[in-house]
Structure 1
Amino acid sequence: MSKKLFITGGRGMVGRNILAHTAAQNWEIVAPSSGELDLTDQHAVAAYYDSEKPDVVIHAAGKVGGIQANMADPVGFLDINTTIGRNVIIEAQKSGAKTLINLASTCMYPATAPNPLSEDMILTAPLEPTNEGYALAKILATRLCQYISSQDQSAQYKTLIPCNLFGLHDKFDPAHSHLVPAIIHKMHIAKTTNATEVEIWGDGTARREFMFAADLADAVHVAIADPTLMPELMNIGLGQDHTINEYYETVADVIGWSGNFVHDLSKPVGMKQKLTSTARQQAWGWSPKTSLRDGLAKTYEFYLKEVAK
């Protein structure tokens, strides 16, 4: 009989990619929506664990948003994510679930940490102020997993720290999307309106690391297949990055737009680089399989089918 897998955030981009992975067929999966299970309600979460009795938990749920959203509601990002993380992890422990994979964020790294970002840098210096609330909540969940594993040698409560992600089921609304889906939407509009120019904020030389979400899903399934083999805390990423200009150029090539780019040097560009160290990941024996161009092509195909109808 298949073991039972409980996925929080199963309706989000990461959750949907985990559910779509071929290895998902090896599990009996429960992935309730927020309407079906309020993760901020401790009693509801405890009752759900008592009813479903999952063997393995993947914690991918949370309140997420861009810089503007984080700055506008730091209380919500700290409180909601802390509450969700605490409820999911502590109630998993109480229920007797021995394996939990917690998905964290690179925002846990200090704002001034040198690149590449290695796992031992966490909590060594102040966080980036614009998303500190969210980062603190992710750090708390990570520490909870570490403490539980240290107190109970049979518990495999571990954390993956993904780099930036894009892919199928992403958010493409410019008001809520991250860099890559925003570029896809922007370039599609330029193509369909026959625009000859597309604006890029800043000079486009800032570097970002974006991985195809299906590759993270693959890493998660490898992790739950034998959690004893992975470190308690590990980055999941490419180990390489691209400039903003290169993302625009590759998207333009994928969708078939051949206009010119113009740079607005008065606009903010954020950090110059945010690259993860993949040393632990490499020692674990896993690497992402999807090239940037292939990932963008699959994402644009999804966009055309599901968004630009």
Structure 2
Amino acid sequence: MKIVLTGGNGMVGRNIRDHAEASQHEVIAPASRELDLTDGQATEAYVARVKPDMIIHAAGRVGGIQANMAHPVEFLVENLDMGRNIIMAARKAAVPQLINIGSSCMYPRAASNPLEESSVLAGELEPTNEGYALAKVMTARLCDYVRRSDPELAYKTIIPCNIFGIHDKFDPAVSHLLPAIIRKVDEAKRTGADSVEIWGSGEARREFMFASDLADGIWNAVTRFESLPGMMNMGVGHDHSINDYYAAVARVIGWQGDFTHDLTKPVGMKQKLVSVAMQRKFGWLPSTPLDDAIARTYAHFRALPAADQETRS
């Protein structure tokens, strides 16, 4: 197939491109300078010109709690514009299949865990990333509306749990939890620091999947697209406390210091574990153990030039 992949230079996009299955298709991954997804007219013209068989929408402005709280307008507007523009362009060009990559931030803050797909829009969102979550919810809803309006257009959403891995961002101003931990513990080891600070009590629980596993799941969805539900989680099926993740990174890196806790810092939702019941029924599960995923991500981080270890995206 001819597949347009948005966000092809981000972590998820690059892992999708690196997967062996990518070589079986014509994958077109325009850089932002080639296609500005926040420009509706440009996006419409691009999709009409390329005429893909499928679009995988993996583009977005992403970041951790710090970035979301600092730039709520940008996280809402940019992600909403990108999602709306690519879906409406696909609809106008009659692109038959589209996979939209959502986020577990779409789930209500008080929803019971594990988070089932049916609970999207069932309650108030987590305030620390509400703008990003609203954009993702609205993009997924737009896919639903298009699919209901025209049976010839199958636009579906995959909701991954938290993702980390090769090609991740390690700058603490924009990084998610695990790459931030890797950078902090690595710095402590290199400088001889005897302690590392954790935001909050460290008791909040998160589920993380290796990005190459998500890429494998997405290609599995491409291959068996007709069997893919309209909205489906992708996760590992179990979670760990933030304290556990710090301990795992320290174990992999070989740092033996202590951890302190800053209880004044925001921590987000107490737990965010997605249900994998529908995913199991679909017939796919990730395969990379946590320590192996951390080790491969750390090796990637250490292989970056020194300057890029701060800003790699």
> Shorter-chain TM-score category?
over 0.9
- The runs of 5 or more residues in structure 1 that have no matched partner are none
SS in 2 for 1:123: coil
In the alignment, which residue of structure 2 is the partner of 1:12? 10
Are 1:42 and 2:65 an aligned pair?
A: no
Deviations 1:146-203 (A, max 9, x none): 1111222232210000111100010101111111001100111111112222222333
In the alignment, which residue of structure 1 is the partner of 2:257? 259
In the alignment, which residue of structure 2 is the partner of 1:250? 248
Q: d(CA) in 2 for partners of 1:182 and 1:74? A: 20
In the alignment, which residue of structure 2 is the partner of 1:301? 299
After TM superposition, the structure 1 stretch with the greater mean CA deviation from structure 2, 265-274 or 244-253, is 265-274
Are 1:163 and 2:164 an aligned pair?
A: no
| Contact in 2 for aligned 1:103/1:161 (Cα 8 Å) | yes
1:1-309 alignment to 2 at 5 Å?
3-308=1-306
Q: d(CA) in 1 for partners of 2:258 and 2:30? A: 45
AA at the equivalent of 2:279: Q
| Contact in 2 for aligned 1:156/1:227 (Cα 8 Å) | no
1:220 positional shift: 0.6
1:308 positional shift: 4.3
1:266 positional shift: 4.1
Q: d(CA) in 1 for partners of 2:255 and 2:235? A: 29
Deviations 1:16-67 (A, max 9, x none): 0000000000111110111111111112111111221111100011122333
1:74 positional shift: 2.7
Runs of 4+ in 1 over 6 A off after TM superposition: none
AA at the equivalent of 1:194: G
| Contact in 2 for aligned 1:167/1:299 (Cα 8 Å) | yes
1:234 to 1:258, Cα distance in 2 relative to 1, 3 A: same
Q: d(CA) in 1 for partners of 2:243 and 2:81? A: 39
SS in 2 for 1:5: strand
- The runs of 5 or more residues in structure 2 that have no matched partner are 308-313
| Contact in 1 for aligned 2:3/2:26 (Cα 8 Å) | yes
Q: d(CA) in 2 for partners of 1:123 and 1:13? A: 27
What percentage of residue pairs aligned between the two structures are identical? Answer: 57
Q: d(CA) in 1 for partners of 2:213 and 2:188? A: 29
1:260 to 1:131, Cα distance in 2 relative to 1, 3 A: closer
| Contact in 2 for aligned 1:237/1:288 (Cα 8 Å) | yes
AA at the equivalent of 2:118: D
AA at the equivalent of 1:243: S
Q: d(CA) in 2 for partners of 1:111 and 1:135? A: 11
